Amino acid sequence: MASKPAALLQDIESSPAEVSLAGRDLCSVADLTTVELAGILELAHDVKTNPATYRWALDAKQMVMFFEKASLRTRLTFETAMNTLGGSAMFVDQTQSPLGERESLADIARNVERWVSAIVLRTYAHETITEMAQYASVPVINALSDIEHPCQAIADFMTLEERFGNLRGFNFTYVGDGNNVCHSLMLTGALLGAHCTVGTPKNYAPKADIVAQARAIANVTGSNIALVNDPIAAVTGADAVYTDICTSMGFEHEATKRAPIFKPYQVNEALMSQAAPAAVFMHCLPAHRNAEVTDAVFDGPQSVVFDQAENRMHAQKALLLMLLGKGGNRSDGSSR
């Protein structure tokens, strides 16, 4: 990450339409520069507006998904994205046999790269994704690890762009557990020049190295990353309030312990009233209703949770197009 600020400075004035990510991996949001992220988002908006023009853009391309964790949105949005771009998606259930247990990751990569155009991984250990990327010659996409959830964050900020336009100077707040989703949101917000405030209980803050990465990016883009423990202070004046479940997959044994610790961080009507009048409520789903968020907020007029869920598909279409070298042109042959 040490070279990222310099790369950002060189890249920040470039045009998103000129971006090429062909053959790259997406293990972390930090793999992207400001303009590369802007290019993905620009394409995602166009794909959503003009889906028919990309209908055969990935004709005959194959994508395999190895999932160690249960999934609704991630699996279906990736499958739908690939299928409606003209390619094929294959799902391999690894919930009973973690990747690398039966066969080394290097051997899996060297087999799979000969059959498919892209590998999508939903894992526990982030190292599973980075090791697969090390050995596979085709793009590897992080569809969730214990450290990051980049595809979720890209779709989330796409949703905010739809509502608010340019997000430079935007006030984004996350309250709850400083988990993988929180990590990717901080990095994405920093790349886009949004001010990010994270409100967590003590001992549940995001990882220090991820915070340092986000702040290094923010120093270049002119945004700010703030960590607080007071949920009211975190939310006050926010343009978007985001939360997630308090006990992520893999930490179920801590659910009873965490419940009282996170109770003050519940996003309810009283907490949302501290945000800006036009603020939106966000959640990556699945939600534990009336735990981290009340029904009144989740189902209320400020909620954009299902817009976020829809945009997973559009953002992932754009990501696949970019990584597979089809980001510059529509399937009808015209340029964006």
pLDDT, position 2: 41
pLDDT, position 252: 75
The answer to whether 196 is a known catalytic residue is: no
Nearest C-alpha neighbor of 121 from the set 75, 178, 187, 188: 75
The answer to whether 152 is a known catalytic residue is: yes
Give the pTM.
0.93
Q: Please, what are the averages of pLDDT over each run of 10 residues along the chain (336 residues)?
A: 48 64 98 97 98 97 97 98 98 96 97 98 98 98 98 98 98 98 98 98 97 98 98 98 86 84 97 98 98 98 98 98 82 52
173, β-bridge pairs: 197, 241
Residue 305 contacts by C-beta under 8 Å, 6 or more apart in sequence? 281, 282, 283, 285, 287, 298
The answer to whether 336 is a known catalytic residue is: no
- 140: tokens are 């590897």
Residue of 46, 73, 94, 122 marked catalytic: 122
The answer to whether 122 is a known catalytic residue is: yes
Residue 131 contacts by C-beta under 8 Å, 6 or more apart in sequence? 100, 105, 106
pLDDT, position 12: 47
- For the chain, give the secondary structure using H, E and C: CCCHHHHHHHHCCCCHHHCCCCCCCECCHHHCCHHHHHHHHHHHHHHHHCHHHHCCCCCCCEEEEEECCCCCHHHHHHHHHHHHCCCEEEEEECCCCCCCCCCCHHHHHHHHCCCCCEEEEECCCHHHHHHHHHHCCCCEEECCCCCCCHHHHHHHHHHHHHHHCCCCCCEEEEECCCCHHHHHHHHHHHHCCCEEEEECCCCCCCCHHHHHHHHHHHHHHCCCEEEECCHHHHHCCCCEEEECCCCCCCCHHHHHHHHHHHHHHCECHHHHCCCCCCCEEEECCCCCECCCECHHHHCCCCECHHHHHHHHHHHHHHHHHHHCCCCCECCCCCEC
Residue of 73, 75, 126, 149 marked catalytic: 149
The answer to whether 195 is a known catalytic residue is: no
pLDDT in tens, 179-210: 999 999 999 999 999 999 999 999 999 999 99
pLDDT, position 247: 81
Residue of 75, 183, 195, 312 marked catalytic: 312
Residue of 94, 283, 284, 316 marked catalytic: 284
pLDDT, position 255: 80
Residue of 25, 31, 156, 244 marked catalytic: 244
Q: How far apart are the first and last CA of the chain?
A: 31
Instruction: Determine phi and psi for 120, rounding to 5 degrees.
Output: -115, 130
The span from the CA of 149 to the CA of 284, in Å, is 10
Evaluate whether 74 touches 66 at the Cβ level (below 8 Å). no
The answer to whether 168 is a known catalytic residue is: no
pLDDT, position 3: 44
The structural domains of the chain, ordered by start, are 14-148+311-323 (3.40.50.1370), 152-246+254-309 (3.40.50.1370)
Angle, helices 208-221/180-191, rounded to nearest 10 degrees: 10
pLDDT, position 166: 97
